[in-house]
Amino acid sequence: MTWARKVMLYLWGCLIGTILLVFSWVYFKPDVPIPSWLPASILVDRINKFPLNKSEKAQCLVACYNITDEELLNLIKEKDVDYKASEKTKKPWPIYYFNGIINGNLKTQLKIEVGDTLAATLIDLKIDSVANCNCGL
């Protein structure tokens, strides 16, 4: 078998494999997400595996600003992680800051402590708003 024939067979195999792979993703698994390898995607996947716990202060602020859990999870899914402000090496658990917009135009920053692989806790949130929440914590 000549070198050109080997290359041609290899290219045909790659083409057939690519077509089968795309066909299987489109027709058989439309709801299964493709695994992600980027740091923000991995972090969001870790947070979304379990319910988001809230500290007492965070519960008070969420109630004061009338923010739903769905809005918090949507902000996290936007994957706008502020790695410069985040405390990635903090012991015992790292703390990450998520930036986004809630309720149409309120700039929001979530402070989330990601513990091991079992829990994530919303510690604090900051919102550009004139509302005065006296959470006192």
Non-local (6+) Cβ contacts of 90 within 8 A are none
Kindly compute the dihedral angle of the four CA atoms of residues 42, 48, 51, 54, in this order, to the nearest 10 degrees: 60
- Kindly report the average pLDDT of the chain as a whole number: 81
CATH topology of domain 39-127: YaeB-like fold (3.30.2310)
pLDDT: is 12 or 91 the higher one? 12
pTM of the model: 0.68
CA atoms of 62 and 57, how far apart (whole Å)? 9
Q: Locate tokens 């024939």: which residue? A: 5
Give the residue among 117, 95, 96, 97 at the shortest CA–CA distance from 45. 117
Q: What is the pLDDT of residue 9?
A: 94
One-letter identity of residue 1: M
Instruction: Give residue 74's pLDDT band: very low, low, confident or very high (50, 70, 90).
Output: confident
